[in-house]
Structure 1
Amino acid sequence: MNTAWHFPFMILVSLLVFWLMVRLILPQEEFRAKQAQIGLLALVVVVFGMLFGKYGATFGLPWWVYYPIPMLITVLLPPVVLKMNRQKTAAYLVLSFLSAPFIHVLFSFFLGWREYMPFWKIPALSSYLA
């Protein structure tokens, strides 16, 4: 079974989740005013972060390089670039730490894809129905 298309789909879903997180945190007028920044930020945080993590692991970089760099970019860059206050930063940090497990549970449980967080085994819905 060819699963090469899973990764681009995971990036798209992660982009959507990131966009929704930022939309929940920022007031509507601020969100609209910063659309270009949010778009560029999403490319760096989500697309670059996921590509760096995937290909860092694939090309044999140590885990302490390919895992923390995307995580630090995800945690530090949005609050700084979007000039979030403490309350917005706290909300963003909570949502950002919950987003990856949430996405992994969705992919693993509903689709049986375990590549998003391969170290965390979630049984697929299909295994309960068989």
Structure 2
Amino acid sequence: MIAASLLVFWLMVRLLLPKEQFRAKRVQIAALALVVVVFGMLFGKYGATAGLPWWVYYPIPMLITVLLPPLVLKLNARTTAAYLVLSFLLAPLIHGLFSFFLGWTEYMPFWKIPSVGSLLA
């Protein structure tokens, strides 16, 4: 799931930034992807496993995802708005796909999506 989320994040930033700017900031985008995606998902997963309350392990990765890329990449208002819309649409989409096809419900555990396997059983 982390690999798929990294790919989606990378493609989303590629879609939003002009080609030259994306190329110039590749290293910065890669570091940002590691923090936003990898750290965010691991914090959420292990925070929930460790018994942290949901209002700790869920909002922290979400705030990192929402705030860090526009600040680090110095996005203008229009690109920031597009980034926010895409990030809020793509996170549930990834969750839905992984929940439905693989039965992985950890990404957004409060949204119960039945897996295709459970529907066919």
TM-score (norm 2): 0.92
1:92-121 superposed Cα distances (whole Å, 9 cap, x missing partner): 000111111100111122222222222212
Letter of the structure 2 residue corresponding to residue 108 of structure 1:
S
Matched, 1:92 2:108: no
Matched, 1:73 2:64: yes
Shift of 1:128: 4.2
Matched, 1:16 2:7: yes
Give ranges in structure 2 of 5+ residues lacking alignment: none
* Shift in alpha-carbon separation, 1:127–1:63, aligned structure 2, 3 A: closer
Q: Which runs of 4+ in 1 moved over 2 A?
A: 123-130
Shift of 1:124: 2.2
Distance, in Å, in 2 between the alignment partners of 1:57 and 1:128 is: 27
Distance, in Å, in 2 between the alignment partners of 1:125 and 1:101 is: 17
Letter of the structure 1 residue corresponding to residue 59 of structure 2:
P
Distance, in Å, in 1 between the alignment partners of 2:89 and 2:20 is: 25
The sequence identity of aligned pairs, in percent, is: 81
The correspondence of residues 1-130 of structure 1 with structure 2, limited to 5 A, is 10-130=1-121
Distance, in Å, in 1 between the alignment partners of 2:114 and 2:35 is: 31
In angstroms, what is the RMSD of aligned CA positions?
A: 1.3
Q: How many residues align?
A: 121
Give ranges in structure 1 of 5+ residues lacking alignment: 1-9
TM-score (norm 1): 0.86
